[in-house]
Chains A and B, each alone.
Chain A
Amino acid sequence: MKTSILDPISIEVMNRQVRKATLLVMVAFSILVLKLWSLQILSGPQYRIKSESNRIRIQDIPPFRGLIYDRSDNILVNNRPSYDLYVVPEDVKNAEGLVGKVEKLVSLDHDHALELIRKTRRAKPFQPVCVKRGLSRDEVAMLETHRFNLPGVLIRVAPQRRYIMGDFASHILGYLGEVTEKELKSKRYFGARVGDLVGKAGVELKWQRVLGGIRGGEQVEVDAAGRQIRVISSQAPRPGANVYLTIDKDLQSVAEKALGEKSGAVVALDPNTGQVLAMVSKPSFDLNLFVGGIDPRVWKEMVTSKKYPLQNRAIAGLYSPGSVFKIVVALAALEEGVVDPEEEIWCPGWLRLGNRTFRCWKKAGHGGVKLHRALVESCDVYFYTLGKRLGADKIAAYAKKMGLGTRTGFDLGFERSGLVPTRSWKLKKWGIPWQMGETLSFAIGQSYLLITPLQAACLISSVFNGGYLYEPQVSKLVKDTEGNVLYAFRPRIKGQLNFSEENMQIIREALIGVVNEKHGTGRRAAIEGVKVAGKTGTAQVVGLEKGEKGKIDEERFRDHAWFVAVAPADDPLIAVSVLVEHGGHGGSGAAPIAKEVIEHYLREKGMIPLEGRSERSGEG
């Protein structure tokens, strides 16, 4: 008796479809009811028991952190097992009592442990919380024997970082630390959880995302004391990818040993690619101190030390380049045509400007000097003259063109850009106009000019590699455990000099002369059978007032010693930059270190015969 505007066939079809739908609904609900019957009535009692003793927990399995290798696949950083003490807050009736008991067996930060347990109890009572990492064998044994008395205590084995050589390439490799709240929100630390150790510096930081791996876990059934009964199911963690550096392990060691206990930096680059072969910054520190969380007292000492061991001087130490900068000024003068290489400039040992006298380092003067000799013997008066002709802003322009005053693009970051002063910069910064005298100091690499040892290495490379400024990089290859290449090095050109080849050749000849000519300031870097080219530098630390000459011997007032070099000059394989803080003259303080590094590398490459070694050691 339905009133409808539908035709009879439609009604018929509709009714049939509705009947089918009704049937479907009936069947579906019946299945649900049957399923509920089976769960709640048939298997109910078992589930009831399970719920009463429900201690199925999710337990993390930490991934293996990726390994770090040098350029020839020598392992630099790996992992070893660490025994960590955990507490499950829910299973602890009296936290104070438990911590007290544990404290008698292992050394423990009482308040910190208590706070951790209480904090976790509120948020995730079943989540085991790590109260101490890196238990000793004895401590593990003590805890195991008292286990019955310590409900809620767990000992877990987790991989721990091991820096095989401890205090080796510390600033490159970097270290781990507990992730902070702020870092948890950043993309770099994706997947990290409170309490995780993550990369905080160097390669460990740069490649954190791939080194870290992916956490695994398992569903485990635990008993009332929190002891694991069985694993229900698990998901294996994914180990982190391995990182291969461009660092040459032996060369790095040689460079570290050569610098010794002195503060300073050594950088060795492949001048044709920008690969960093070695990078040393001293003083450094033992990376293994950081494993498992650094002792706060040791950390405080490091941070407050006047020697700044945490600073990577190679990229963040700013120094006046001293005479190293003469390379730039000489090129600028040739390019600008303000001097002819054959022009002789008279050096009486000083230059007068207004009522001020600017001295050459050689009091007696060099006499008549041409460009070649001015570089070889590092004549200050010659460069004062070029400075006067060029003017500060021209010099600054060439300095910038050669990569000074900007970051080199080093792949680990945290570089400082240094400073190339200009007239307008000074006016803006100090409100005082630029003085002519400052141009003269500028021309010999003093005044406000500041550069990093890495910039110096890039600069000398660019003079000998055809004019390319490569971005220095330490990451050669990143490969996951299945062998897939996630990242592979390729040279990155940051800039090109575009200077006339003729002028470049003049400079190159002069820099060869610095090391190989009789009066060259860099004679002590000379190696028999190899053409080394370089430039010394001496950076004033403080301007000594008259009558303070006596202070010159005091260590902290001594000048910084610079030496930049490439070898072999005709077809360079290595570029080195050495800075020794308070090392005195570049020729004596820094050149021998550069020589050792170059010599080792070229011997490794088979460019220096091995028998040369015995002769030399006999000399020294």
Chain B
Amino acid sequence: MFDRRLVQNFDWFVVVILLCLAVASIVNLYSATFPIREEGGAQVFIRQIYWYGLGFAVFLIMTTFNYFLLERLAYPAYFVSVALLILVLIIGKISSGSQRWLSLGPISFQPSELVKITLILALARFFGEKKEFKEYRLRDLWLPFALIVVPFILVVKEPDLGTALLLVLLGASVIFLAKIHWKSILILILTVMVLAPFVWFHLKPYQQRRILTFLRPDMDPLGAGYHINQSKIAIGSGLLWGKGFLQGTQTRLHFLPEQHTDFAFSVWAEEWGFIGSIFLLALYFLIILWGIYIARNSKDKFGSMLAMGITSIIFWQVIINVGMVTGLLPVVGIPLVLFSYGGSSLVSTMGALGILMNIRMRRFMFQ
């Protein structure tokens, strides 16, 4: 099965980038959770090492088969993951007010992480089938819209506003790539603008408040506003070279919320400074450029679409998370992909990158 051509096309530098990310993530988690000794179970950074191990394994597995298999499996995979989302609403584990996890014995995972990839697969399949070029209009797009809206609603119900928004961005990215007619874009924007107030007034007051806080954290000076303030102090005080490993005062004194998940980047930026931050961003930037390169050079439309979609998963999460902790964007609970702690996200993202490598390896193969 593995012919030499395939191995030759395996981009080893990507593995090096991922290893750099893994080391940075684990070092950072060690620091973020340093003063806390959790009773029972491994410490967070140890668990992250296991997750990375599993992640690399899944990454390699995803390169072993021809990705055309995925084209056939796209819709079934999508339906399974949506079914899991429904299941999560019924029997999911509730943790700090939302129902996101499914328990499988000792471990639990978030189906919403899986659905990011299966949504991309399903959309790639839809657009990949159309061999002829065509500028899409709204009436052609009801299926892709449905594919996006169903998991969107289910994830909003959990509630996980951040991930729900991400699903919309991912879907929009793929549709954008497929090229949609400018008039259709205009109609879409107008529809949203007309519907927004209607939906708004049908929300309960607490839901309205949640959305307002989401959009304007300064309206919640004791929650999100405080966190962003502290996060900015952490990042800014890192200066050029940072305060050094385990030396971040903001982190040590627990001024940062969610240090090992949503605000992991702030911990890193405080301890490793501007240099460290740029280094980390550069790693993501390289992966994204690599993804775009693959999309551009794929031999078929499905491959292109899939590659672009996967790349957009990385792109949006990095932009939203770093934008959030630096105070550019509202506070949404989106962790920094491949860097923050979180098994489901890590393993599914590594799997997605494996698919990307798969497309890259088979770009010279003929059917």
Which A residues contact B (CB, under 8 angstroms)?
2-7, 9-10, 13-15, 17-18, 21-22, 25, 28-29, 31-33, 35-37, 39-41, 43-48, 50-52, 54, 56, 58, 126, 217-219, 232-235
Residue of A nearest to B312 (CB): A21
Give the chain B neighbours of A3 by CB distance below 8 A: 299, 363-364, 366
Q: Does B154 reach chain A (CB closer than 8 Å)?
A: no
Cα A52 to Cα B252 in complex, Å, equals 12
Cα A2 to Cα B298 in complex, Å, equals 8
Interface contact A48-B236, CB-CB below 8 Å: yes
Instruction: Report the minimal beta-carbon distance from B178 to chain A, rounded to whole angstroms.
Output: 8
Q: Does B333 reach chain A (CB closer than 8 Å)?
A: no
Which of B233, B255, B319, B364 has the most chain A CB atoms closer than 10 A to its own CB?
B233
Give the chain B neighbours of A46 by CB distance below 8 A: 236
Residue of A nearest to B275 (CB): A40
Q: Does B17 reach chain A (CB closer than 8 Å)?
A: no
With A13-B179, A18-B308, A36-B278 as known contacts, state yes or no: A47 contacts B237, CB within 8 Å.
yes
Interface contact A40-B240, CB-CB below 8 Å: yes
Give the chain B neighbours of A233 by CB distance below 8 A: 218, 221, 225
List 12 contacting pairs A-B, 8 Å CB cutoff, sorted by A.
A2-B297, A4-B299, A28-B319, A32-B281, A43-B236, A52-B237, A56-B230, A217-B221, A218-B221, A219-B225, A219-B229, A234-B221
Interface contact B328-A37, CB-CB below 8 Å: no
Interface contact A4-B300, CB-CB below 8 Å: yes
With A21-B292, A25-B292, A36-B269 as known contacts, state yes or no: A58 contacts B226, CB within 8 Å.
yes
Cα A234 to Cα B234 in complex, Å, equals 22
Interface contact A44-B237, CB-CB below 8 Å: yes
Give the chain A neighbours of B222 by CB distance below 8 A: 58, 217-219, 235
Interface contact A36-B274, CB-CB below 8 Å: yes
With A50-B233, A54-B249, A58-B226 as known contacts, state yes or no: A40 contacts B299, CB within 8 Å.
no
Interface contact B236-A47, CB-CB below 8 Å: yes
Chain B stretch 171-214: residues in CB contact (< 8 A) with chain A: 173, 176-179
Residue of B nearest to A29 (CB): B285
Interface contact B179-A17, CB-CB below 8 Å: yes
Give the chain A neighbours of B230 by CB distance below 8 A: 54, 56
Instruction: Report the minimal beta-carbon distance from B296 to chain A, rounded to whole angstroms.
Output: 5
Cα A31 to Cα B323 in complex, Å, equals 9
Instruction: Report the minimal beta-carbon distance from A126 to chain B, rounded to whole angstroms.
Output: 8
For B291-324 the 0/1 string (1 means CB < 8 A from A) is 0100111011100100010000001000100110
Instruction: Report the minimal beta-carbon distance from B171 to chain A, rounded to whole angstroms.
Output: 15
Give the chain B neighbours of A17 by CB distance below 8 A: 176-179
With A6-B131, A54-B249 as known contacts, state yes or no: A44 contacts B240, CB within 8 Å.
yes
Cα A7 to Cα B131 in complex, Å, equals 7
Interface contact B292-A18, CB-CB below 8 Å: yes
- The answer, among A22, A48, A54, for a CB contact under 8 Å with B253, is A54
Which of A10, A22, A31, A219 has the most chain B CB atoms closer than 10 A to its own CB?
A10
Cα A530 to Cα B29 in complex, Å, equals 83
Interface contact A5-B300, CB-CB below 8 Å: yes
Q: Range of interface residues on chain B?
A: 35 or more
Given A3-B364, A33-B278, A56-B226, 15 extra CB contacts under 8 A? A2-B299, A3-B299, A6-B131, A17-B176, A17-B179, A25-B289, A28-B315, A36-B274, A36-B281, A41-B240, A46-B236, A48-B236, A50-B236, A54-B250, A235-B220
Interface contact B319-A44, CB-CB below 8 Å: no
Cα A52 to Cα B234 in complex, Å, equals 10
Interface contact A21-B132, CB-CB below 8 Å: no
Interface contact A54-B233, CB-CB below 8 Å: yes
Interface contact B133-A13, CB-CB below 8 Å: yes
Interface contact A10-B234, CB-CB below 8 Å: no
Residue of A nearest to B292 (CB): A22
Instruction: Report the minimal beta-carbon distance from B174 to chain A, rounded to whole angstroms.
Output: 11
Residue of A nearest to B278 (CB): A33
Cα A46 to Cα B238 in complex, Å, equals 11
With A40-B274, A233-B221 as known contacts, state yes or no: A10 contacts B237, CB within 8 Å.
no
Cα A10 to Cα B305 in complex, Å, equals 12
- The answer, among A35, A44, A56, A234, for a CB contact under 8 Å with B238, is A44
Which of B132, B237, B288, B299 has the most chain A CB atoms closer than 10 A to its own CB?
B237
Interface contact B239-A14, CB-CB below 8 Å: no
Residue of B nearest to A48 (CB): B237
Instruction: Report the minimal beta-carbon distance from B183 to chain A, rounded to whole angstroms.
Output: 17
Cα A212 to Cα B270 in complex, Å, equals 40
Interface contact A47-B281, CB-CB below 8 Å: no
Interface contact B235-A47, CB-CB below 8 Å: yes
Cα A4 to Cα B319 in complex, Å, equals 32
Instruction: Report the minimal beta-carbon distance from B173 to chain A, rounded to whole angstroms.
Output: 8
Interface contact A37-B226, CB-CB below 8 Å: no
Cα A219 to Cα B235 in complex, Å, equals 20
- The answer, among B237, B295, B323, B366, for a CB contact under 8 Å with A50, is B237
Give the chain A neighbours of B343 by CB distance below 8 A: none
With A39-B235, A40-B240, A44-B240 as known contacts, state yes or no: A219 contacts B221, CB within 8 Å.
yes
Give the chain A neighbours of B234 by CB distance below 8 A: 51
Q: Does B25 reach chain A (CB closer than 8 Å)?
A: no
Instruction: Report the minimal beta-carbon distance from B284 to chain A, rounded to whole angstroms.
Output: 8
Residue of B nearest to A25 (CB): B288
Cα A218 to Cα B250 in complex, Å, equals 20
Give the chain B neighbours of A48 by CB distance below 8 A: 236-237, 239
Instruction: Report the minimal beta-carbon distance from A223 to chain B, rounded to whole angstroms.
Output: 16
Instruction: Report the minimal beta-carbon distance from B249 to chain A, rounded to whole angstroms.
Output: 6
- The answer, among A31, A44, A50, for a CB contact under 8 Å with B328, is A31
Give the chain B neighbours of A126 by CB distance below 8 A: 253
Cα A395 to Cα B178 in complex, Å, equals 85
- The answer, among B221, B226, B239, B249, for a CB contact under 8 Å with A45, is B239
- The answer, among B218, B249, B364, for a CB contact under 8 Å with A51, is B249
Instruction: Report the minimal beta-carbon distance from A214 to chain B, rounded to whole angstroms.
Output: 11
Give the chain A neighbours of B173 by CB distance below 8 A: 21
Instruction: Report the minimal beta-carbon distance from A64 to chain B, rounded to whole angstroms.
Output: 18
With A28-B319, A217-B222 as known contacts, state yes or no: A6 contacts B301, CB within 8 Å.
yes
Q: Does B349 reach chain A (CB closer than 8 Å)?
A: no
Instruction: Report the minimal beta-carbon distance from B193 to chain A, rounded to whole angstroms.
Output: 23
With A4-B299, A17-B179, A32-B326 as known contacts, state yes or no: A40 contacts B238, CB within 8 Å.
yes
Instruction: Report the minimal beta-carbon distance from B355 to chain A, rounded to whole angstroms.
Output: 18
- The answer, among B178, B236, B315, for a CB contact under 8 Å with A25, is B315
Cα A282 to Cα B89 in complex, Å, equals 53
With A6-B131, A13-B179, A25-B292 as known contacts, state yes or no: A32 contacts B249, CB within 8 Å.
no
Q: Does B28 reach chain A (CB closer than 8 Å)?
A: no
Interface contact B236-A15, CB-CB below 8 Å: no
Cα A229 to Cα B229 in complex, Å, equals 17
Instruction: Report the minimal beta-carbon distance from B120 to chain A, rounded to whole angstroms.
Output: 14
Q: Does B55 reach chain A (CB closer than 8 Å)?
A: no
Instruction: Report the minimal beta-carbon distance from B135 to chain A, rounded to whole angstroms.
Output: 8
Q: Does B151 reach chain A (CB closer than 8 Å)?
A: no
Interface contact A10-B301, CB-CB below 8 Å: yes
